[in-house]
Amino acid sequence: MKPAPFEWHAPASLAEALALKAAHGEEARFLAGGQSLVPAMNFRVAQPAILVDLNRVAGLDSVVEENGALRLGAMLRHARLERDATAARTHPILAEALHEVAHPQIRNRGTIGGNLSHADPASEMPAVMLALDARFGLRNAAGEREVAAADFFLGPLTTALRPDEMLTEIRLPALPPRSGTAFLEVARRQGDYPMMGVAAVVTLDAAGMCIAARIACCSAGPTPVAAPRAAAALLGTRLGEADIAAAAELLRDEVEPLGSVQASAGYQRHLAGVLARRALLLAKGRAA
Amino acid sequence: MMDAPRETRQIGRPLTRNEDPRLLTGRALFVDDVELPRMLHAAFLRSPHAHAEILSIDVSAVKARPGVVAVITAEDLGEYWQPGPLLVPPPPIAGMTFRQRCQVPLAKGVVRHLGEPIVMVVAESRYVAEDAVGDIVLEFATRPVLGDLEAAIVPGAPRVHEDLPDNIAAEVVQRKGDYAAARAGAAHIIRRRFWYDHGASMAMETRGIVADWDVKSDRLTVWDTTQAPVVIRNGLAAMLGLSERQVRVIAPFIGGGFGPKMMMFYPEEVLIPWIALRLERPVKWIEDRLEHFVATTHERGQLHDAELALDGNGRILGVRDEFLMDTGAYNPYGLTVPLNSQCTLLNCYDIPAYESRFRAVYTNRTLVTPYRGAGRQHGIFVMERLMDAAARELGLDRVEIRRRNLIPPDAFPYRNEIIYQDFAPLTYDSGNYGPILDAALDAIGHAGFATEKAKAKAEGRHLGLGVVCYVEGTGIGPYEGAKVRVQTSGKVTLATGIGTQGQGHFTAFAQVVAEQLGLDARDVEVTTGDTDQFDWGVGTFASRGAVVAGAATHGAAVEVRKKVLKAAAEHFECAEEDLVLDGGRVSIAGIPERHITLGALAQKANPLRGAVKPGTEPGLEATSYFGPEMGATAAGVHAMVIEVDAETLRPAILRYVVVHDCGTVLNPLILAGQIQGGVAQGIGNAFFEELTWSEDGQLLNASLADYLLPTALDVPRMELRHTVTPSPLNPLGTKGAGEGGAIPVGALYAQAIEDALDLPARGIEITEIPLSPSRLWEIVHGHD
């Protein structure tokens, strides 16, 4: 469990980091918190020739709020975002989901950008990003393009990032008034990758009618999986128990769990229905 | 000889551990802490296949890599290439079959399990060694993989060992009484099939070994994470053609043993000393976790078809069992595991007739050797699940059917007649089981549980109760020894040959010595596992340390006490009866100012001038050995209340009770740690740990992210109670306690979960372990 030989670069600026990546392309990997990449290197599953260490690049870890919308720097550590008072006010689902991301020691090092770029379909935050309708700023030496979370995750450990690009910023739109969010998962042990996880966001009008809903699941397919049909079924309802149960039933058919060592696909699908129901009830209660 | 005055009693006190300051401040030596000048590092190329023919090995690129010092294949070992020794020959049981096939240092021609070593690379660093392993080019022709036990015994099945007629490694039938007659007279026959899979022990410290050949002293020193340093020393000396004096094996602090570190000889244990001798440089190999998953021994599955015959009152008339046991690719540990299953199945019940047949089956899996419980939990699972099924069939309470069948207290020694793993007929030395059950029911709140459960149900919560009995055969021979010496400082040293892997030996044995020599247990310095300090002994396994080495320690301390009193009597010119040994000094009874310290007596016993009297020995020292005629049988009951989420099927333990009887308790704090650790491993076994294999024999969850060990959040606080029924087999009356915590947990989970979800009423029984929420869902869903 020793990594294969590699060259280590620790640039001090984003421009330098992007120049290195541009020069080396697929040969180089960005090192952020190292909580996924370093174990993979120790297993020799990942053998990058060059590591571009981002830990000395300043200015990539800010939390900026504008009218309820958030901009998160990619090098923001999970633990910091989990405890951020602004994020807790604007998007409480972040802290709720981050609490389930691995263990405190891992959250102290792991970064939001690293986690999203790794694109593990079992990971919590990619699903939360779909539910929050996030947009990602991707940069290369030439400039930036913006990609919706829904277009970013292409497959297991595969994203829309080009070889010379880095995910630098996560942009979360403001949640409208009377919105409620919830994240629930079932894992074998606290801190494990979930066997199923559901992120739910609902918005009610003044009369208590559901006017917007987004639901996304992790461990539910090759990428984080959104459930637009289940969400659509909620629109125009008062999110009664029967409305929610019907949506949960639809969601069971929208997920495509692959099964794992810990859970059969059938059990995962069953959990998706259970968790969707529970998460929607919770979100509704929080929206009121 | 006087009894020790009551206030000086050391045995039975909950002393915190002498070794903990060292361990907690990072000053304890573990094998990987050994750093020597000029040290080299080894890495192994291991089989990526469960079963394959090796067509070619090309190491030419390795030799060219800078920093590589040696590349060794089976061919390079010459005469040194030998299958490992059979550690535990099978006991003499009439009509048995036993076909020995032991592991080899490096695979030659065929690989029979994942992770079997093929090439050893020695280099200037572990990094270079692992890079070099990547340079080796091998060609394989894969062979059919034997994994499923029933498929492996089908006539004409592919064979793990082609020189054998089939995959049967052993077949043993044992009988007590006349089962056929018992069955003919039975009012009820309960018949079930059970699958019990035990996992890998996953000690926190993986295996490791450092070997250093000192050319100038002509001696080999080996630091090894072994549970049996003396046996390793003797074996290595023989293999390497050295005298035993020339080999020193040190088993320093070890981060958990649990059985697999008793396996002798692992390939690496044979190869690292050999290459260190040849290169005349120290060599280190530390197993990484990935290697540990496939190269350190496991326990695994047994498939039981079992039958219980009862009369109309729920009294057991007899038991019949037939099981298959996965022994892996080789069987150096003989029949220990299946014999434990066969014997322990009889549990704490008065069973007049028993017929049991097992077949151990070779498979293309890592070797099976004992792991905490060592097959006992398989037997207990079968018996306890049969009892639960019988209770339902007879309309009896599950506690009542157990109570009706407990061996009565006046029936000890109780003879089960069949042969146990120590070759002696299985006999329970002492026991009193009723009070254990009573105490467990009291502690768990059995009387009020029905009300509690109904109340919870009204709130939509699902509570279940489990109550399970077990016995634990412990403290087997052949022997251990101990040497006790009073130093001139007044402190006392104790050396024993067994190794220590967290059992608190530095404290419990100190208490045994202190009890006799009237001093503070903090002033007894204990050495275990260094063959330069004591080199007779067998090892730490089978819950035998406290029993066998403890009794040897007691014997040596008693002898030293005699010497101390004799020397003091001569010093004071008084009778030994008039002396008081306490507080590290001997004084004359009633005249405490007339005293001499232990240190001064030690000095007088080893004079520089004058003469030691003819016929006496210098110093205040004694060595003693103890070998029990047979093992001592501990017993206990575990009970728990569990809550299960009826939708996700996730359980949470609300209360957990252990009532345990292991005879005389040396140190209740250490005992509590043993039991709690055992329960934690039991919970892992029952609910979290499962080795998952693909069809082609790959281990799909070879990491601690996927092979789940219980964490602190998954192990509940537990209430421990003890009853004390001393063993008549040793002077301290102790029985072992190393495995009892782990043995009954699977049966307990199954019973409690059935109860929580009212599964039997829905026609569902749990007949397998390990369970997971997913597996439970499959079991329940399959019936809905």
pLDDT value at residue B490: 95
Structure tokens at B670: 């250490």
State the pLDDT at residue B86: 82
By CA distance, what is A277's nearest residue in B?
B647
Mean local confidence (pLDDT), B620-638: 95
Specify the pLDDT at position A95. 98
d(CA B76, CA B274): 12
pLDDT digits (tens, 9 = 90+) for B366-409: 999 999 999 999 999 999 999 999 999 999 999 999 999 999 99
The CA-to-CA distance between both ends of chain B, in Å, stands at 72
- What is the β-pairing status of strands B651-661 and B524-528? unpaired
DSSP string, B742-768: TTTHHHHHHHHHHHHTTTGGGT----E
Q: How far is A43 from chain B (nearest CA, A)?
A: 8
* B647 touches A: beta carbon within 8 Å: yes
What are the boundaries of each domain within chain A? 7-53, 63-172, 179-287
Judged by a CB distance cut-off of 8 A, whether residue A263 touches chain B is yes
User: Hey, are the CB atoms on B648 and A271 less than 8 Å from each other?
Assistant: yes
B66-81 pLDDT, tens per residue? 999 999 999 999 999 9
Whether residue A192 and residue B130 make contact (CB cut-off 8 A), yes or no, is: no
Tell me the β-bridge partners of B209.
Answer: B224, B285
State the greatest distance between any 2 C-alpha atoms of chain A, in Å, as a whole number: 63
- Taking a C-beta distance cutoff of 8 angstroms, is the pair B537, B497 a contact? yes
pLDDT at B4 over 50: no
A238 touches chain B (CB under 8 A): no
**Burial readout A130-153 (b: 16 or more C-beta within 10 A, e: otherwise):** bbbbbbbbbbbbeeeeebebbebb
Q: Is the CB of residue B717 less than 8 Å away from at least one CB of chain A?
A: no
Question: Cβ of A52 under 8 Å from any chain B Cβ?
Answer: no
Q: Which residue has the tokens 């280099």?
A: B123
What is d(CA B218, CA B222) in angstroms, rounded to the nearest whole number? 13
Instruction: Determine, for residues B711 and A190 on separate chains, whether the beta-carbon distance falls below 8 Å.
Output: yes
Dihedral of CA atoms B337, B341, B343, B346 in degrees, nearest 10, equals 170
Partner-chain contact A266 B777, CB within 8 Å: yes
| Sequence-separated (6 or more) residues with CB below 8 Å from residue B552 | B479, B480, B481, B482, B496, B624, B625, B626
Residue B126 and residue A2: Cβ atoms within 8 Å? yes
Partner residue opposite B774 with nearest CB, options A4, A43, A264: A264
pLDDT at B617: 84
Q: Which residues pair with A180 in a beta bridge?
A: A202
Q: Do B127 and A271 touch (CB under 8 A)?
A: no
Q: Give strand pairing partners of B328.
A: B362
Q: pLDDT tier at B421 (50, 70, 90 boundaries)?
A: confident
- The answer to whether residue B688 neighbours chain A at the CB level (below 8 Å) is yes
CA distances (Å), origin B454, targets B448, B457, B551? 10, 5, 50
| CB pair distance less than 8 Å for A192 and B708 | yes
Tell if the CB–CB gap between A270 and B777 is shorter than 8 Å. yes
pLDDT of B8 reads 53
Whether A89 contacts chain B with CB within 8 A: no
Q: Do the Cβ atoms of B718 and B676 come closer than 8 Å? A: yes
- Is the pLDDT reported for residue B557 higher than 80? yes
CB contact under 8 A, B710 and A193: no
Which chain A residue lies closest to B286 (C-alpha atoms)? A1
Distance from CA of B140 to the nearest CA of A (A): 22
CA A103 vs. chain centroid, Å, equals 16
Q: Buried b vs exposed e over B70-90: b needs ≥16 C-beta within 10 Å?
A: bbbbbebbeebeeebeebbeb
Question: pLDDT-derived band of residue B783, with 50, 70 and 90 as boundaries?
Answer: low
**Strands A166-172 and A179-187, bridge-based pairing:** unpaired
Q: How confident is the model at residue B362 (pLDDT cuts 50, 70, 90)?
A: very high
Q: Do A2 and B777 touch (CB under 8 A)?
A: no
Instruction: Yes or no: say if A74 and A168 are a contact pair by the CB < 8 Å rule.
Output: yes
**Among B290, B296, B373, B366, CA closest to B326:** B366
Which phi and psi angles does B586 have, rounded to 5°?
A: -110, 130
Residue for token digits 């206990």? B636
Using an 8 Å CB-CB cutoff, list chain A residues near B648.
186, 271, 274
B238: Cβ–Cβ under 8 A, 6 or more apart, which residues? none
Angle between helices B550-572 and B505-517 (to 10 degrees): 30
Nearest to B774 among A43, A44, A263 (CB): A263
pLDDT in tens, A97-140: 999 999 999 999 999 999 999 999 999 999 999 999 999 999 99
Q: What is the pLDDT of residues B445-487, one digit of tens each?
A: 999 999 999 999 999 999 999 999 999 999 988 999 999 999 9
Is B134 close to A44, i.e. CB distance below 8 A? yes
Interface test with B, best of A36, A106, A188 (most B CBs within 10 A): A188
Q: Does A43 touch chain B (CB under 8 A)?
A: yes
Cβ within 8 Å, pair B708-A2: no
The CATH classification number of A179-287 equals 3.30.390.50
The B68-72 sheet, strands edge to edge: B68-72, B117-123, B40-46, B283-286, B208-214, B219-224, B247-250
As a three-state string, the secondary structure of B421-445 is CCCCEEEECCCCHHHHHHHHHHHHC
Give the CA distances from residue A88 to residues A171, B20, B93, B120, B237, in Å, rounded to whole numbers and listed in that order: 15, 43, 70, 54, 66
Q: How far apart are CA B658 and CA B711, in angstroms?
A: 20
B65 shares contact with chain A (CB less than 8 Å): no
Identify the pLDDT of residue B611: 64
User: HSE (CB half, 13 Å, CA atoms) of B37?
Assistant: 1
- Closest CA–CA distance from residue B728 to any residue of chain A (Å): 44
pLDDT of B714 higher than 60: yes
Q: What angle do CA B397, B399, B400 make, to 5 degrees?
A: 65
Tell which of B774, B775, B780, B784 to mutate to test the A interface (max A CBs under 10 Å).
B774
| Contact of A149 with A253, CB cutoff 8 Å | no
The answer to whether B493 and B487 have CB atoms below 8 angstroms apart is: yes
Q: Report how far residue B636's alpha carbon sits from residue B658's, in angstroms, rounded to the nearest whole number.
A: 7
Supply the pLDDT for residue B784. Answer: 54
CB contact under 8 A, B777 and A186: no
Q: How far is A274 from chain B (nearest CA, A)?
A: 7
pLDDT tens for each residue of B748-764: 999 999 999 999 999 99
Say whether A1 and B648 touch across the interface (CB within 8 A). no
State the pLDDT confidence band at B2, using cuts at 50, 70 and 90: very low
Nearest to A263 by CA among B135, B158, B692: B692
Please choose, from the candidates B29, B7, B3, B12, the residue with its C-alpha nearest in 3D space to the C-alpha of residue B507: B12
Helix (H) or strand (E) holding B172: strand B168-176
* Buried b / exposed e along B656-669 (16+ C-beta atoms within 10 A): bbbbbbbbbbbbeb
Residues sharing a CB contact under 8 Å with residue B774, sequence separation 6 or more, in sequence order: A195, A262, A263, A264, A267
Distance CA B257, CA B275 (A): 25
Facing B708 at nearest CB: one of A43, A188, A270: A188
Work out the mean pLDDT of chain A and round it to a whole number.
97
Beta-carbon separation of B773 and A188 below 8 A: yes
Q: Do B773 and A263 touch (CB under 8 A)?
A: yes
> ipTM score here?
0.95
* Contact by Cβ (8 Å): A3, A42: yes
Pick among 3.30.465.10, 3.10.450.50, 1.20.1250.20, 3.40.50.300: CATH of A63-172: 3.30.465.10
How many other C-beta atoms are found inside a 10 Å radius of the C-beta of residue B135?
18
Chain B residues closer than 8 Å to A190 by CB: 711, 713
Residue B220 distance to chain A (closest CA, Å):
28
- Under CATH, which architecture does the A7-53 domain have? 2-Layer Sandwich (3.30)
Classify B549 as helix, strand or coil. Answer: helix
* B704 touches A at CB < 8 Å: no
Residues of A in contact with B778 (CB under 8 A): 264, 266-267
Q: Which residue has the higher pLDDT, B782 or B100?
A: B100
Which tokens belong to A269? 């699908």
Pairwise CA distance, residues B736 & B721, whole Å: 16
Inter-chain residue contact B774 with A189, CB threshold 8 Å: no
Check CB contact under 8 Å for A262 and B774. Answer: yes
- Note the pLDDT tens digit of each residue in B279-305: 999 999 999 999 999 999 999 999 999
**Contact at CB, A270 and B692, closer than 8 angstroms:** no
What phi and psi values does residue B303 have, to the nearest 5 degrees? -115, 115
Q: What is the pLDDT of residues B492-537, one digit of tens each?
A: 999 999 989 999 999 999 999 999 999 999 999 999 999 999 999 9
User: Which whole number is the average pLDDT over A197-208?
Assistant: 97
CA distance B550 to B496: 10
- Do A63-172 and A179-287 fold alike per CATH? no
* Residue A66: strand pairing partners: A69
CA distance to partner chain A, nearest, from residue B471 (Å): 31
DSSP SS3 for B493: strand
User: In the predicted model, what is the mean pLDDT of residues B593-608?
Assistant: 92
The answer, for B710 touching chain A at a CB cutoff of 8 Å, is: yes
